[in-house]
Amino acid sequence: MRTTLLYAVLLGAACGPGGTVAPPSGWTVSWSDEFDGAAGALDGSKWVPDLGTGPNADGWGNQQLEFDTDSTANAALDGQGHLVLTALKQSQGGRSYTSARLVTYGTFDQQYGRVEARMKVPAGQGLWPAFWMLGADILQAGHEWPTCGEIDVVEVRGQEPAIAVGSLHGPGYSGGAALSDRHVLLGAKLSDDFHVFAVEWDPSRISFFVDDQRYRTFTAEAVQTSGKRWVFDHPFFLILNLAVGGNFVGAPNAQTVFPAALVVDWVRVSRRAQ
């Protein structure tokens, strides 16, 4: 039921595998998933699969080309301390690709904190891995996207695998007009190894990090000075997905390799220590 309700409105430090990660100094972990279970299904008390192509069958409002499933072929623990989201070139639901989209809507949300994931992203034209958040009030009248707010901890265009993109979406600054910046990894690709992508979210500002290097801070003052609303003062839930195609990346091409995998070592949410 949680997932069905969500369809109606969704338009739009390192450690080895299996190791528990201590939070950065000054933070206390409030929620995490280390993905340490046996190979197979993930923890259903934490993650809920979003299924299909979105409420209007339009690729989640982004013209994505995949059909998202709850199959372990598309989202599963690998038994080595990872969650693996796999995009496959196979037909289902009228689409030529399948993948997975996982949310914590109804299982976990939080207002403010440090939100981070250690992940290895795939490379290839038309692949769109993302770790992001939506306002948990999205089902309340008057709070539909983008009024509920969206925080994109990281998105990567598969054809630009050295660039991490972080963004904020709200009323008057959403979609292609989002508040956005990017971090460029010099001399390497994000797809070559695991990296930690994070935001530090406070009442008046949100900062974006790659491997603990801050590359951008957006402030409530700047947004409000521009005449727009800061919509990030309420709880948000988490989303992990690996899209195929869509407005942000375009379609795959003949060189895009399938299966393609987004490998997640851990996800952690912390609060500032008192």
Active site residue 221: no
Q: Which residues contact 142 (CB under 8 A, 6 or more apart)?
A: none
Cβ proximity of 121 and 240 under 8 Å: no
Beta-carbon count within 10 A of 270 CB: 21
Active site residue 150: yes
Cα dist from 14 to 20, 128, 129, whole Å: 10, 23, 20
> Of 34, 66, 116, 150, which is the active-site residue?
150
- E-strand ranges in 104-247 read 113-120, 127-135, 150-155, 163-169, 179-184, 195-202, 205-210, 213-219, 236-244
Q: Contact, 122 vs 143, CB < 8 A?
A: no
Residue where the block lists tokens 């899209």: 243
Catalytic option among 34, 155, 200, 221:
155
What is the spatial distance between Cα 154 and Cα 181, in angstroms, rounded to a whole number?
10
Q: What does the alpha-carbon distance between residue 3 and residue 198 come to, in Å, rounded to a whole number?
A: 26
End-to-end CA distance of the chain: 37
Give catalytic residues, as residue numbers: 150, 155
